[in-house]
Structure 1
Amino acid sequence: MSSILRRLPPSAATGLRTGARHSLAEVYRPADLVVLGLGVMIGAGIFSVAGRQAATAAGPGVILSFMIAGIACLLACLCYAELSSTIPASGSAYTFTYVIFGEVWAWVIGWALILELQLAAAVVARAWGEIAVGALANAGVRLSAPGLAADLLVLAILVPLTGVVALSARVGLRALWVMVAAKLLAIGAVIVVGLPHVDARNFGDFHVPPETLTTAPATVLEIVVGESHAFGWFGIFSAASAIAFAYIGFDVVATAAEETVNAPRAVPKGMIRSLVLATVVYVAVALVMVGMVSYTKISVDAPLASAFRAAGEGWMAHVIDAGALLGLTTVILVLIVGQTRVLFSMARDGLIPRGLAAVSRRYHTPSRVTLVIGGVAIVLAEFVPVLTLQELVVLGTLFAFGFVAAGVIVMRRRMPHLERGFRVPLSPVVPALSLVATFWLMVNLRLLTWVWFALWMAFGLAVYLAYGRRHSVLARPAAPVPVRSGGRHRR
């Protein structure tokens, strides 16, 4: 019972209790955080998600779906911005929850973040391998064993990226800048080349008459309603839930708070700016996609590439392949960084083995936990059908979104004295709206996803009761175990 009630003091979360909270080097500037956000939010989905959702769920109204999803994520982003400006620590939502709600709830959120980030890294790496095989085929390279080639390519991307994150945050950051710039150039080419082929008639009135589907209800909302729908306003909002997967990732920026110069002000700006820019880019590509070809003629498998081929610009398929691979590479890199920082914080608090919180004296990074994360991602991507589990990534993320939104309301009441570098406007209205939007996105996920998520969380609670509750540093406040650290390293 005591573990449910005990909370991490705000001063401990930000490093005033021990030096352990200040063991990571300050690497990030405000512009770096924007690149970090764009690196994880803009992946291969930008070239496919608009066409796929237009063809199957929303029609030309998919543009409205992108705006709705962007607004829902912006509400959550504002809540993250306030808490990260108040508690600028590596654990992001995990640490926020530890301070506001208590240890057991922090464990729940940390366990959900492990699911989100670890599974996401494996999903994206697997997708990278599949897309790379397709890109080679488009370039005329014939592979006798494409399945084996995809497996080898997964290794070829995860091993070096894990090494980069483990050895040097600065090298990883420089590589991220280069790759984000390159993929934005590819996206710019898509927009510039595609715009002359846009036909306004393809937009219609952004609303397609709704259809009742013959398939059995699968999402929680469909089961409650009793039938499945596509198109119409139901389809537009349903597509927004699927599209939210594209925006997920801005929360990873908050995990870099401990390594950011002037974090209370820089982190909120970095998160909000990167999300707004990502939304603008996604909407721009969606306008081109839907405008180039009628939603009834969109190829679900390769929507954007097929649209360019129909317009006589087949060479753009190679640009799209290159942009997709660059996009997924940066996503994997940032996901590994985010997962490393969450596990680092949990280990530092004793909820998982504290040896994982060791910081390399030579490289000034939590290299040990990074190698563990990379190894697990390789196993998952190679031996588990992770592409069928990507909704679990969304549910784990949305679960954290809900706690963060509630955390803003509770912290304003319990800890009004804490200094905040950013304040959510119109609180508690905006956090409440974020809770509603998050709930809507969650009920649009499949019931089977909820079942798997419940099983994962039940297993996590058992792990906490068996290990974390007894090894927590708050269980032994008089004699915390020191964390090996290379000290605080500044630029």
Structure 2
Amino acid sequence: MLRTAGLREIYTRNDLIVLGLGVMIGAGIFSIAGRQAASMAGPGVILSFMIAGITSLLAAICYAELCSTMPVSGSAYTYTYVIFGEVWAWIIGWSLILEMELAAAVVARVWSLYFAQMLTELGVTVPALLSRPEGFDLFTLLILTTLTGIVAFNAKVGLRALWVMVSAKLVGISAVIIIGSLHFNAGNIAQIPVDPAPLVTDADTLHSTVFGLLIGETHAFGWFGILAATPAIAFAYLGFDIVTTAAEETKDATRTVPQGMIRALATATVIYIAVAVVMIGMVTYSKITQGAPLADAFRLVGETFMVHVINITAVLGLTTVVFVLLVGQTRVVFAMARDGLLPTQLARLSGSHRTPATATLVIGAIAILLAEFGPVLTLEQLVVIGTLFAFMIVSAGVISMRRSMPDLPRGFKVPGSPLVPALSIVATLWLMLNLQVITWLYFVLWMAVGVLVYQLYGRRHSALAPTIGRHRRPQPPKHQTRT
């Protein structure tokens, strides 16, 4: 096989499973379920996890087919380039940049808070400058600087560290499930909220969901609350698609990437639902707190030692999330730069490890600026909408590619196509409609800026610039062709 400007192969199937678990299992397992149970879905949060998991699985199957056909860097960006052309590829690439860059900043900021909480629980006084919800803090700078350097200069060392940290956090999560199950009370799960609580006031339509406005109903709990909680819970599953960005660095990628991605997602889904069931079973949803729901649940049942286990596991989990986000973001930017849509300097490979160090350093620097000076903790839903948009386009790509390139070799095929991809599109769009109106407005603004950047730079510097505008199906850029 010949790859132009290719990356070094370092990943196996098991590495990809660890990569997927590294990014999907983070603080969300300790906080998202509790927050959504307490404020939105009650015990129905378990159904919210199932709905989000099924939607993610449908999208993952679609990713698997396209990745097995085009096992190169770039993930949804590359697939869209080949299937729908450069303009749509840019739009998806721009959406992925929003997703991963903002996610890295959000998670790094949360890592700082959890790290400070862990130290405080151990009796260590943490000065405000080291960790705080807003403004500059040193812990955020520390985690982003360290992981950016590892990803930029020695991905192999980062992979070994990832194995250790993922293994350790799985041990911690196992302890949560086992100890929590000893205090399980089925009556807590069967408890139904008596009266739906108002979700927003009439004057606060920006923070209502789009679906809620369409049907004139915006309240927490009940079926509406379960559905409204699902997009927030989908944030926990986001990241399985990042596994496909490592395809160019994976051995026998046409088979191993689909297997690694789907197995990682299935494992994460089981773990998330198990933790949600245990937490809701330990204490009634009305007693769950918003700040540290799982840790406080263990306090209520007298298992105070588990608070330390949860804090340490959360810190490890968030570390791996930031690491994998940086890896995935770098590969998307690398692919876009290699096609000329971003400055080609970002596609340079450095050192014997052949890593896109320049792109990684730029991405890390932007993440630091966002995390330190932007209100990232209030923009979490933007990560979700950017990812769901990519899911929808990839699912549509499977249908289109089956018609336009039916004879193209595929290492994996979506069963029941076009029905399954169509279901993925509908389910993804449904989650998007359950996001807040203000999130949609921010997303439209970001995409408008992206179109402007493409017109001013990407379109003029594209590697396929001479063919733009001709009435023919775009062909894969040179680096996407394997022989």
- TM class, shorter-length: over 0.9
Q: State how far apart, in whole Å, the 2-side matches of 1:301 and 1:344 are.
A: 38
Verify: 1:244 aligned to 2:234, yes or no. yes
Query: CA offsets per residue over residues 298-347 of structure 1, 9 Å max, x none?
Result: 11211111111111111111111001100000000000000000000000
Q: 1:171 aligns with which of 153, 157, 167?
A: 157
Could you tell me which amino acid in structure 2 is paired with residue 228 of structure 1?
T
Alignment of 1:60-209 (within 5 A): 60-145=43-128, 151-204=137-190, 207-209=192-194
Q: What are structure 2's unaligned runs of at least 5 residues? A: 468-476
Could you tell me which amino acid in structure 2 is paired with residue 374 of structure 1?
G
What residue is the counterpart of 1:4 in the other structure?
none
Q: Secondary structure at the match of 1:34?
A: helix
Contact 1:210 1:233 in 2 (8 A): no
Alignment of 1:399-438 (within 5 A): 399-438=389-428
Q: State how far apart, in whole Å, the 2-side matches of 1:19 and 1:227 are.
A: 54
Contact 1:354 1:483 in 2 (8 A): no
Report how far residue 362 of structure 1 moved. 2.9
Contact 1:351 1:467 in 2 (8 A): yes
Q: Secondary structure at the match of 1:66?
A: helix
Report how far residue 221 of structure 1 moved. 1.2
What residue is the counterpart of 2:324 in the other structure?
334
Q: State how far apart, in whole Å, the 2-side matches of 1:101 and 1:212 are.
A: 44
What residue is the counterpart of 2:380 in the other structure?
390
Report how far residue 147 of structure 1 moved. 5.7
Report how far residue 172 of structure 1 moved. 1.1
Q: 1:283 aligns with which of 257, 270, 273?
A: 273
| Matched pairs, number | 463
Report how far residue 210 of structure 1 moved. 5.6
Q: State how far apart, in whole Å, the 2-side matches of 1:371 and 1:82 are.
A: 32
Report how far residue 55 of structure 1 moved. 1.1
Verify: 1:19 aligned to 2:9, yes or no. no
Verify: 1:346 aligned to 2:336, yes or no. yes
Verify: 1:310 aligned to 2:310, yes or no. no
Query: CA offsets per residue over residues 423-458 of structure 1, 9 Å max, x none?
Result: 001001110100011011101111111111111111
Contact 1:100 1:410 in 2 (8 A): yes
After TM superposition, the score normalised by the length of structure 2 is 0.93
Contact 1:213 1:227 in 2 (8 A): no
Report how far residue 199 of structure 1 moved. 1.0
What residue is the counterpart of 1:28 in the other structure?
11
What residue is the counterpart of 2:474 in the other structure?
none
Q: Secondary structure at the match of 2:417?
A: coil
What residue is the counterpart of 1:444 in the other structure?
434
After TM superposition, the score normalised by the length of structure 1 is 0.91
Could you tell me which amino acid in structure 2 is paired with residue 101 of structure 1?
F
What residue is the counterpart of 2:200 in the other structure?
215
Query: CA offsets per residue over residues 232-282 of structure 1, 9 Å max, x none?
Result: 122112222211110010000000000100101111101100000000000
Q: State how far apart, in whole Å, the 1-side matches of 2:280 and 2:29 are.
A: 13
Query: CA offsets per residue over residues 400-440 of structure 1, 9 Å max, x none?
Result: 01100000000000001110000001001110100011011
Deviates further, 89-98 or 301-310 = 301-310
Contact 1:348 1:483 in 2 (8 A): no
CA distance 1:77–1:209, change in 2 (3 Å): farther
Q: Secondary structure at the match of 1:110?
A: helix
Report how far residue 146 of structure 1 moved. 5.0
Contact 2:347 2:356 in 1 (8 A): yes
Verify: 1:359 aligned to 2:342, yes or no. no
Q: 2:27 aligns with which of 21, 44, 51?
A: 44
Q: 1:460 aligns with which of 443, 450, 460?
A: 450
Contact 1:61 1:208 in 2 (8 A): no
What residue is the counterpart of 1:12 in the other structure?
none
Report how far residue 283 of structure 1 moved. 0.7
CA RMSD of aligned residues (A): 1.8
